[in-house]
Chain A
Amino acid sequence: GIQVEQSPPDLILQEGANSTLRCNFSDSVNNLQWFHQNPWGQLINLFYIPSGTKQNGRLSATTVATERYSLLYISSSQTTDSGVYFCAVDLNFGNEKLTFGTGTRLTIIP
């Protein structure tokens, strides 16, 4: 099946720092989404980004589908950014099943 790897697995940063999270996938995909899982387990949609670049406030994402990777940028980190970030992809078969990546655990220190 499709493999979805995220790096780094863990990241500890000082408040105000910038970070780049990476998602590599092993096959062509129809869709890619980024999520933030908060400490209570809720998955919050960040980006729906099968290709191209999007920005939303301090966050932006870029997917290069032909090279099978996506990047999530977080600028001027805040403590509320702490949590686990997942990318998830669905294969190009139109069944909309999402395969989740391994996740990046981000900890922002005040």
Chain B
Amino acid sequence: GAVVSQHPSWVICKSGTSVKIECRSLDFQATTMFWYRQFPKQSLMLMATSNEGSKATYEQGVEKDKFLINHASLTLSTLTVTSAHPEDSSFYICSAVHILNTEAFFGQGTRLTVV
């Protein structure tokens, strides 16, 4: 149990286009999901907290207009990278916190390359 599915696993897009990444908790409900970004050989940095039915909370330095987050249900959150630029190329990972406890489970990650 406790599976989080993230899609797509990798995506290549042109500069100026938008990319949507989906994060689903397959077998549990999660009122809270988180989005992280990871650069090569570095740790994970939290970008934003996504709560079902309310606006996302962004960490300092993260542009909310560039990284749009929608948490439509207790099992689905989406991250849209708008007007992507090469510097947005990175590994993006979502996590979902089990509604019954505070353990976090992570998706497979999405490797975004902007050309």
Contact = CB atoms under 8 A, between A and B. Distances in A.
Contacts, number: 52
Interface of B: 2, 32, 34, 36, 38, 43-46, 49, 91, 93, 95, 97, 101-106, 108-109, 111
A43 B103 CA distance: 13
Contacts of B91: 41
Interface of A: 30-31, 33, 35, 40-43, 45, 48, 86, 88, 90, 95-103
B49 A41 contact: no
B109 A30 contact: no
A45 to B, nearest CB: 6
Nearest to A101: B43
Contacts of A35: 106
24 contacts: A33-B103, A35-B106, A40-B108, A41-B109, A43-B93, A43-B95, A43-B106, A43-B109, A45-B105, A45-B106, A48-B103, A86-B43, A86-B44, A88-B104, A96-B32, A96-B97, A96-B104, A98-B46, A98-B104, A99-B46, A100-B44, A100-B45, A101-B43, A103-B43
